Amino acid sequence: MNKLIAGNWKMNGSLAANEALLAALAQGLGQPGCDVAVCVPAPYLAQVQALCAATPSLAALTWGAQDVSAHASGAYTGEISAAMLKDFGCRYAIVGHSERRQYHGETDAQVADKAKAALAAGITPIVCVGETLAEREAGHTEEVVKRQLAAVIHTNGHCISEIVVAYEPVWAIGTGKTATPEQAQAVHAVLRAQIKAATEHFSRVKILYGGSMNAANAASLLVQPDIDGGLIGGAALKAADFLTIIAAARG
């Protein structure tokens, strides 16, 4: 199974900056030897789609959204449906990112519904789970991540084999702190066992690490047996760093 390196640009970018970043990626991407995606702010999906279509050296790059509505259509001002994302060629949609859970109050059930909406449109949800520093220090890491993933499994049933899971310890996102490879592997193993119990097709499910993976630590994380790639934040905005992480995923 190929590893997956997915960049999450978060609320960053501009027409000029995006073009420059993709141009720099185009120079070094080639045949990456792993799956590569960028999840970009919704206003720039059309630009990324067009640039990738017009740039042969970006043929290996797929793209996705950073969120998706649980609703198919209707009076939900400001929301973006999975069908709309599909119109722009989205392969992925991040759901349940800790920033959405923290700042927008998203619940486990809402995250599960968003994953369901993405799957129904043929988009792969990247389902984020992770604990806060307080939860880790209280010894609740396993309980928290299993609860968050269980909601998605419950809502999506046999389709669970079509998702991607991203373990992102909240205390390690954008803080410069990173779980040690051993800490990350331990949680990934827990999630792997949970997925294995839920579907006979468990081997299809990639589990990414999403807590400040960068050019310096990617190799040591990606060699862990249950880490199938990375959900990359800040380093995804720097072409050289992103390409270094992709090279580490190639092995």
Identified catalytic residue from 97, 106, 131, 188: 97
Count helices and strands (H / E) in the chain: 10, 8
Buried b / exposed e across 125-156, counting CB within 10 Å, b at 16+? bbbbbbbbeebbeeeebeebbbebbebbbebb
Eight-state DSSP code of residue 73: S
**How far from 167 is each of 27, 202, 206, CA to CA, in Å?**
30, 16, 11
Q: Residue 202 class from Cβ within 10 Å (0-12 exposed, 13-18 middle, 19+ buried)?
A: middle
Radius of gyration, CA atoms only, the chain: 17
Is 168 annotated as catalytic? yes
Identified catalytic residue from 131, 162, 168, 188: 168
Is 104 annotated as catalytic? no
Residue positions annotated with a catalytic role? 97, 168
